[in-house]
Amino acid sequence: MNRTLIGFIKKELTQTLRDPRMRVLLFVMPVIQLTLFGVAISNEVKNIRLAAVFDSRDTVLRDIYERSIAGTWFIPAKSEEQDPYTMIEAGDADAVLVPPPGGFTRALGRGDAQLQLLVNATNVLQAQSVEGYLQNIIQQTIKDDLNMTPPDLPIQIDTRVLFNPDLKTSVFMVPGVMSMLMIISTMVMANIAIVREKEMGTFEMLISAPVSRSEVIYGKTIPYILLGMSNLPLILAVAVFAFQVPMRGSLLILFASALAFVCTTVAMGTLVSTYCRNQQQATLAGFLFIFPMIMFSGMMFPLENMPTVLRWISYFDPLAHFLGLLRNIMLKGGERTYVITHIVYLAVLAIATVIASFRRFHTTLE
Amino acid sequence: MSSFVWRRAAAVSRKEVFHILRDPYTLGAALVLPVFMVIMFGVAIEFNVKNVALAVCDSDQTQSSRRLLDTFGSSEYFLIHRVVSPHEAVTDVSAERARAALIIPPRFEKDLFAGRAAEVQMLVDGSDNSTVGPVLGYVGSIQSIASQRIAGFERPAPYELRTRFLFNPELNSRWFVIPGLTVVVMSILSILLTALTVAREWENGSMELLLSTPVEPLEIVVGKLSPYGVLGVIAVTFVYVIARTVFGIPFAGNIAVFGLGCLLFLVTYLAQGLLISVMTRKQTIAMQLAMMSGMLPSNLLSGFIFPIESMPKFFQYFTMILPARWFMRIARDTFLEGSSFFELGGSFLALSIFCVLMILVATRRFKRDLEP
């Protein structure tokens, strides 16, 4: 590495880190955010307000209700309303159990028991889980209360969850939030760094200075790769020590994949910056890229369900590969073929974007 | 000090409109982004997991085991591929070639015919939150279907649970996601664009210039923000129209109630954007701060995908200080539940408080910062 380049990188780093607020944003905020989102966000179903309409003689339904409330899923709903539908509509309850006329217990004795469940399905995911969970509780309660032991099913499926047996949400979510934080800090920062010079008019000065073009490009990208990488140990430490996300694979491989990822995102940021004239444009463009990237990464929505054409897009999504790698390396110890394939994908993406951004950069410089 | 004059505010906003129009790229992005997002989300999102890759190791190779596999395969939930050993099945799961593995032991049919419990093993990948929950749910129903088909076993059902899913009877994922998108789209456009545009004036030094003109600070604020408010309204209209026409999402409520919520939320976020820009005066920092205080919370803490009720107690209270949380409630409930203004009274009250508070703080800060 020559001296001009080192000087350039130093200048870029100083310029970014000079502002103490920027230092806080770059190094403290990701840690706070990861902690915040890691603690707060989950897909677990909790605190669903359940109501049941029963009189004192309806012992089975009472037991079902009490059992449901005893767990973490449900809390009792408070409502002055009597009509189950109105209860939900008024927002006092999320789910209501309605027995047949005469009570559920008596209907069970008659042998034609129908229990109605009303669920607020505004949140699709919750509604489905609530139904399944209540189904189980009802079965159990009927079995215990009426001493009915239905014969076991002839086929038994012994289900085990691998890699995250307790289904801890933080184990799922933390790698996702990690990769999201890294993409925001690298891609947008690199993009803006160049556009700012353009906007200020200092870019012309840079070009007329005795530095070669590749020095400009390297000088404008390497600092952001370094910054992005410096974030990784910080958020990794929070993930492992604060959230007990296991780290079963090799740190070295994790860093290698992070490097490939950060190179890609920084190069993408640079590529986008060649099309932008001011920072407002740059930020918007950043979003146009980052949003689909998050969508197609499989962090929030299952990739399995997307139409095939859209799933192909995920092959071009560095975030999808990186999230896959993070999860595979951290939770599964890094299966060799998978890790190699996806690092290669990332590397190809990195090289392609670097070449493309070099090209674009050269044309804009002329 | 002269009082607020609309003509001067209008002049500032005309200048800002020219500024936006001169830059078709920003305008385009600001209008394309919401459309693009709604269509993408609408097409791509489906929470009901299908075609989960299932690695199967069938060591039994009998008619019964094949029928069990048929049950798995014909359910639409699973896409089966065969492997030769249990070990390979597990490797497939760790190499992400399969999300779950089914291992059928050699004595499966023998056990079944002998009337013993025929046991198979199912290993589910716990590293992917979006599939593990649904897969665990499917296994139970497949178990009873297979028991009935293969062994002719009917479990006596002492009761029947009839579930009515209110407001979204077919459990359509789009109905759940797209109304919430209005919040996300607006939070991007309003807070980010204003934070940047005002910060740019500071950064370029043109703010001092503007202030030395006879225009009052409040007029500058109103003038600069209103074009972005209009932009936000246009974006929401786009989202609304696409949601209704392309994806057929019902709108059960009163459009005026929804509109009022939109406006309150928009003004709150515009004011927040202004506050950020006054505090930072630098676009890079303004952007980061806008993301942290506006974007990420409205995506992750507003109940858009991750329910607020599932958060720890502290965060349930914490989300109350986020305007996005209240507007999310208004947007969803007016779309799906058809809630009236009074039913949403709490949300409107909270949103109005934030709105007034944000405007007060932002203009205060803005005025104070002008004095040297």
Write the CA distances from B154 to B63, B151, B163, integer angstroms. Answer: 20, 9, 22
Least confident range of A347-356, B43-52, B80-89: B43-52
Please report which confidence band the pLDDT of residue B103 belongs to, taking 50, 70 and 90 as the band edges: very high
pLDDT, mean of residues A127-147: 84
Cα distance from N-terminal residue to C-terminal residue, chain A: 25
Residue B100 sits at φ, ψ, to 5 deg, of -155, 155
CB A178 within 8 A of CB A273: no
Q: Chain A contact for B113, CB < 8 A?
A: no
Q: Chain B contact for A184, CB < 8 A?
A: yes
d(CA B59, CA B107): 8
Predicted-complex ipTM score: 0.79
**Which one-letter amino acid corresponds to residue A307?**
P
Of B25, B122, B289, the CB nearest to A281: B25
Which chain B residues are within 8 Å of A90, Cβ to Cβ? 343
Which chain A residues are within 8 Å of B318, Cβ to Cβ? 40
d(CA A115, CA A138): 10
Of B94, B192, B305, the CB nearest to A335: B94
- Rounded to a whole number of angstroms, the distance from the CA of A158 to the nearest CA of chain B is 5
pLDDT, mean of residues A208-229: 85
Asked if the Cβ–Cβ distance from A280 to B120 is below 8 Å, we say: no
Q: Chain A contact for B126, CB < 8 A?
A: yes
Asked if the Cβ–Cβ distance from B159 to A40 is below 8 Å, we say: no
Of B93, B150, B309, the CB nearest to A47: B309
Asked if the Cβ–Cβ distance from A134 to B161 is below 8 Å, we say: yes
d(CA A159, CA B82): 19
Please determine, for residue B370, whether its predicted confidence score (pLDDT) is greater than 70. no
pLDDT, mean of residues B211-220: 81
pLDDT, mean of residues B164-182: 87
Asked if the Cβ–Cβ distance from B144 to A153 is below 8 Å, we say: yes
Question: Helix B345-370 to helix B323-332 angle, to the nearest 10 degrees?
Answer: 140
Q: Convert the pLDDT of each residue in A242-263 to its tens digit.
A: 888 999 999 999 999 999 999 9
Q: Which residue has the higher pLDDT, B129 or B122?
A: B122
Mean pLDDT of chain A: 85
Asked if the Cβ–Cβ distance from B52 to A304 is below 8 Å, we say: yes
pLDDT, mean of residues B341-355: 92
d(CA A213, CA B169): 60
Per-residue pLDDT, A188: 81
Which chain A residues are within 8 Å of B139, Cβ to Cβ? 157, 159
Write the CA distances from A213 to A16, A218, A226, A354, B280, integer angstroms. Answer: 21, 9, 20, 14, 33
Per-residue pLDDT, B101: 92
Please determine, for residue A339, whether its predicted confidence score (pLDDT) is greater than 80. yes
Asked if the Cβ–Cβ distance from B158 to A142 is below 8 Å, we say: yes
Q: pTM (2 decimals)?
A: 0.84
Please report which confidence band the pLDDT of residue B306 belongs to, taking 50, 70 and 90 as the band edges: confident
Q: Convert the pLDDT of each residue in A22-65 to its tens digit.
A: 888 888 888 888 888 788 877 778 889 999 888 888 888 899 99
Asked if the Cβ–Cβ distance from A124 to B176 is below 8 Å, we say: yes
Which chain B residues are within 8 Å of A248, Cβ to Cβ? none
Asked if the Cβ–Cβ distance from B287 to A305 is below 8 Å, we say: no
Structure token digits, residue B167: 């407001």
Q: Convert the pLDDT of each residue in B317-326 to its tens digit.
A: 989 999 999 9
Q: List CB contacts of A70: < 8 A, sequence separation 6 or more.
A: none
Per-residue pLDDT, A252: 94
Mutate: best of A304, A310, A332, partner B, most B CBs <10 A:
A304
Please determine, for residue B165, whether its predicted confidence score (pLDDT) is greater than 70. yes
